[in-house]
Chains A and B, each alone.
Chain A
Amino acid sequence: MRVGILGVGLLAAGLEGWPTGREVLAGTRPFDPCRVPDPDASLLPANERRRSSDCVRWAVQVAQEAMAQSGLDPHEVATVFASSGGEMEVLDKLCRALATTERVVSPTLFHQSVHNTAAGYWGIATSCQQSSTALSCYDDSCAAGLLEAVTYACVEERPVLFVAYDLPAPAPLNGARPIASAFAAALVLTPSVSQALAIADVTLTAAAGRDVSHAFSQEFERLRLDNPAARLLPVLQALAMERRATINLNLLDDQRLIVGVESCRT
C-alpha cells in the first residue's frame, strides 16, 4: 500500500514540535530531553481545554501540528488514534473514587475515560464528521494504528490523520504499566502522492521474531523502547533526514509492518 505523507506532528521531551524536533532527529541539533513540554493544544475550545487530560492535549497538539502542515481542511480528514492505555490519568481518578464507600463519580470524568476521548475532542475542536477510530495493540499500538490508517487511506481513497500517543500513568497505576516519558506523534496520510513531503510504502508480512530497525540513532533507543507510541521514531527520523529507509515495525510476535520511506524533496 502506498500513501503520501502531507504533514507531521511531534511532541516529546527534547522533541518539541516538528520544526525543531526534525533537526534533533537529523542530528543537526542536540537532543536535550530535560524539559517536559506542556502543550496548549490551542485548537481545543477553552472549555474543553480546561477540562481535558494531559493525554488529550498531547494528542490534539500533534494532530493540529500535522494538519496545519498538510494544508488540508480537517473537516475532510478521517482520524485513527492509537494508544496502548489511553486515558490512564482519568482511569486512576475513577478507580480511586470507586474504591471509596460513597463511590461518587464525576460525570465529566466518566465520559473522558473512554479510549476515544482524544479522538472525540479532536472531532469537537474541528467539527469534523468523518470516520474516527481509536484502537490499541499494547506495545504494538503504533504499528496497528499505522496499518489501520494506511489501509483506510488506500481502500476508502480518503485522507486520514494518524495519531499515536501514550503518557506515563500516575502512581499507583504506573506499577501496572511503567512508561517513563510521554510521546505523541501524528502523520497526515493521503492516497495520492502528489504534493507529498514523502511517500510511504507499507507492507504487512508474516514474520517470526522481534527484529527492529537498525538504521536508527541509539540516543533515541531508550525512548523508543520506553513508550509504545515512540515506536514511530525510526519512521520520523527517516522523514527528518529526508532519506530513503526501510523500517520494520513489529505487530505482535508474528507479523511485521515494513515501512519504506522516501522523501519527495530530493
Chain B
Amino acid sequence: MSKRPMTPLTLSAYTLVTANGRGIGAVYQALRERRSGLKPCDFEDALLKTYIGRVAGLEDFSLGADLEQFECRNNRLAWLGLQQDGFMVAVAEAIQRYGADRIAVVMGTSTSGILETEHAYRNRDPLTGSLPPWYTSRYRYTHNMFSLGHFVRACVGLQGPAMVISTACSSSAKVFATAARFLQAGLCDAAIVGGVDSLCHTTLHGFSSLQLLSTSPCRPCDEDRDGLSLGEAAGYALLESSERVGRKGAVALLGYGESSDGYHMSHPHPEGAGAIRAIRQSLDRAGLQPSDIDYINLHGTATRANDLVEDKAVYSIFADGPACSSTKGWTGHALGAAGITEAVIATLCLKQGFIPGTLNCERVDPALRSRILRENEDRPIRRVVSNIFGFGGNNCSLVLGVL
C-alpha cells in the first residue's frame, strides 16, 4: 500500500431513502427526533414475528414506460432514491463538466430484484414447471446482479464504465473503494456510487433460519440485544476529486479499508482480525491516527456476535476515545445498502455537527468497552469512521471528513 494518503474525494451530491423517509432532510429529522422507521413486519404475506424498516409507498407506483422492463421493487426503490435531494440535477451538471462517458457507475446490492424470482417460482407452470414468460424475459433487468447498475446508468444517461459489487452487507461500502481506484487510475473523472437493497422473502426467511432476527425493534449494543431488524434503502453519492472541485467545508471520502476474515461464511472472526485490518487500512489511506477520529458509525447490527466482536476490534484501535453508535435502530439493517446508508448518515453528521446516540439501546452491554453513545450529541465533528461487515467475512471501513 502506498504511504502517501489518498486524494480526498468530494461527495459533491448525495441522497438517501430509508424507512425514515425520502431524502436526507427526512432522514436527518428522524435521527434528531429519535424516531425509528422499524415497524412490525407487514411485508407481503411473510408471517414472521419481527420488525422491518420498510420504505413506504414502494407498492404505489410503477416505473415509466421507458423503464418498464426494469420494473421490480428494487428498481422502484432505486428510482425513488434518484429523485431526491437534486441528485439528478447534480449528475446532469457533472455530465456537462466531464461527458457521459467519463462518469463511472459503481453500485452495490445483495438482493437485487430476487423478489421477482420468488414470485415467478410461485407461478411456475403446473405441467412443465417452467417460469412465466413475464419473468424470464426480464430476469436480466430485474434479478440479475447487474440490473441495478444497468438501471441507474439508463436512468441518468451515462456511458462510462459500470459494475455492481455484491459482497453481501459490505457491497455499498466497497463501491467507494472501487470508485476511488477508478478515479486514481484515470478511468473516469467522476463516479456515482451507491447501493439499493429491498425487502424480500429470501432475506427475511434466511435470517430467520439463522435465528438472527429480533422479535422487537433491534437494540444495538444493548446487553439484552437479541438480533437484527431488516430494512431496505437506496442511497447515492457523486464522487469527484477534491483537487478539481475543492470546496472548503464539503464532506469527502478520506480513506477506505477492505479485508476478509478468512474464517467463516456467517460468523465473524472471534477477535475481529478482519475488522481490525479494514479499520487500520482506512486510517492509513487517510493519513490519520486513531485519535483524529471524532465518531465511529458502527456496523452495530444488534446480533450478539457482531456487536461484541466489532467492539473488540474498535477498542483495540481506538480504546475508549471516539464516540461510537449504531444507527440500525432507525433504519434496520439494509444489507447491500447498509454501506451507502451509513456513509450518507456520516456525511449528515459531519455537515450538521451532530452525533446520533444508539437508538433502542437502554443499557449498554457491560462487556463492550468502546465509548457507546446512547443519547444524541450536538457538537462539531471533523472525521468519522463507518464500519460495514458482511457474510463471507467481507469487511470495509470508510473514513469521511470535512475538507
Binding site for B on A (CB under 8 A): 1, 78, 84-86, 91, 94-96, 98-99, 103-107, 110-117, 119-121, 123-124, 126-138, 141, 144, 147-148, 151-152, 154-158, 171-173, 175-177, 204, 206, 251-252, 254-255
Task: Report yes or no: B164 in contact with A137, Cβ–Cβ below 8 A.
Answer: yes
The answer to whether A147 and B392 have CB atoms under 8 Å apart is no
Bound together, the chains give a CA A94 to CA B140 distance in angstroms of 19
At the interface, is chain A mostly helix, strand, loop or mixed? mixed
Chain B 103-146 interface mask (CB, 8 Å, partner A; 1/0) = 00000001000100110111010000111000110011001111
Q: What is the distance, in angstroms, from A192's C-beta to the closest C-beta of chain B?
A: 15
**Docked pose: A85 CA to B260 CA in angstroms:** 22
Q: Closest Cβ of chain B: how far from A260's Cβ, in Å?
A: 17
CB pair B166–A86 under 8 Å, yes or no, is yes
> In angstroms, how far is the closest chain A Cβ from the Cβ of B62?
21
Instruction: Report B's interface with A, CB cutoff 8 A.
Output: 1-2, 101, 110, 114, 117-118, 120-122, 124, 129-131, 135-136, 139-140, 143-147, 149-150, 153, 159-168, 174, 177-178, 181-182, 184-185, 187, 201-202, 205-211, 258-266, 273-274, 277, 390-394
Q: How far is the CB of B73 from chain A (nearest CB, A)?
A: 15
Interface of B is mostly: mixed
Contact A114/B166 with A129-B277, A138-B140, A138-B146 known, Cβ cut-off 8 Å: yes
Contacting pair A176 B136 (CB below 8 A): yes
User: CB < 8 Å: which of B166, B185, B274, B393 contacts A136?
Assistant: B166
Pick from B101, B259, B277: contact of A254, CB under 8 Å: B101
Residues of B within 8 A of A175 (CB): 130-131, 136
Q: Are B210 and A107 in contact (CB under 8 A)?
A: yes
Q: Are A120 and B393 in contact (CB under 8 A)?
A: yes
Q: In the complex, which residues of chain B have a beta carbon less than 8 angstroms from the beta carbon of A107?
A: 206, 209-211, 266
Please name 12 further chain A to chain B contacts, defined as beta carbons within 8 Å, in addition to the given A119-B394, A173-B131, sorted by A numbering: A84-B145, A99-B124, A105-B208, A111-B206, A115-B145, A117-B265, A124-B262, A127-B262, A130-B260, A132-B392, A172-B131, A177-B144
User: With A107-B209, A124-B265, A138-B150 in contact, is A99–B185 under 8 Å at CB?
Assistant: no
Distance in Å from the Cβ of B257 to the closest Cβ of chain A? 8
Set A131, A132, A171, A177: member contacting B129, Cβ < 8 A: A171
